[in-house]
Structure 1
């Protein structure tokens, strides 16, 4: 698929550095790491910004490696080692994006 601007959100900003989050239920890590995926965000992201990625096939911590004003390149901070999502009980309640709804302690809320 393609980059969805509404899925990119700022988590924190300070001293010229931005920590972003990007979640997609359509694209895998390989597609997101490909050149040009984040080009549409070229006016927002800067080199050395960090993006916490949640893709269809896992999660990664990305660093914006370059942005020349036309093309944005990102790289996985920990290489190709996947960060696997946690195992969820089959009766966990999920939100519209398929993520578990958590209680105050961070545990998934279960049906029933």
Structure 2
């Protein structure tokens, strides 16, 4: 799939840092592909963090992506740092 701007929202902003939330049916591996967030390059800055819910149409996962670099046209995120633990029940 592809980035959908309607699924990206600001959670908090302070001192030039923005904490975002993004939800998608895409996998974490798809989201951390260089260029996935290029359509939001005018908003995302290096050092921002994106709390994400991924794979929402399959086995959902959650985590944090760090915006590793961002120019006026290109965004690259680091691999997702997962949140939560394996459910052993």
Q: Residues of 2 paired with 1:85 and 1:58: CA distance? A: 10
Q: Residues of 2 paired with 1:85 and 1:40: CA distance? A: 32
Aligned residues: 83
- Structure 2: give runs of 5+ residues left out of the alignment: none
The alpha-carbon deviation at position 32 of structure 1 amounts to 0.3
2:68 maps to 65
2:2 maps to 2
The alpha-carbon deviation at position 58 of structure 1 amounts to 1.2
Q: Answer 1 or 2: which has greater strand percent.
A: 2
- Structure 1: give runs of 5+ residues left out of the alignment: 88-112
TM-score when normalising by structure 2 = 0.83
TM-score when normalising by structure 1 = 0.67
2:17 maps to 17
| Paired residue secondary structure (2:3) | coil
Q: Larger Rg: 1 or 2?
A: 1
| Paired residue secondary structure (2:39) | helix
Structure 1 residues 85 and 10, CA, compared in 2 at 3 Å: closer, same or farther? farther
Q: Residues of 2 paired with 1:43 and 1:28: CA distance? A: 24
Q: Residues of 2 paired with 1:31 and 1:77: CA distance? A: 11
Contact 1:59 1:85 in 2 (8 A): no
| Greater RCO, 1 or 2 (C-alpha within 8 Å, sep 6+) | 2
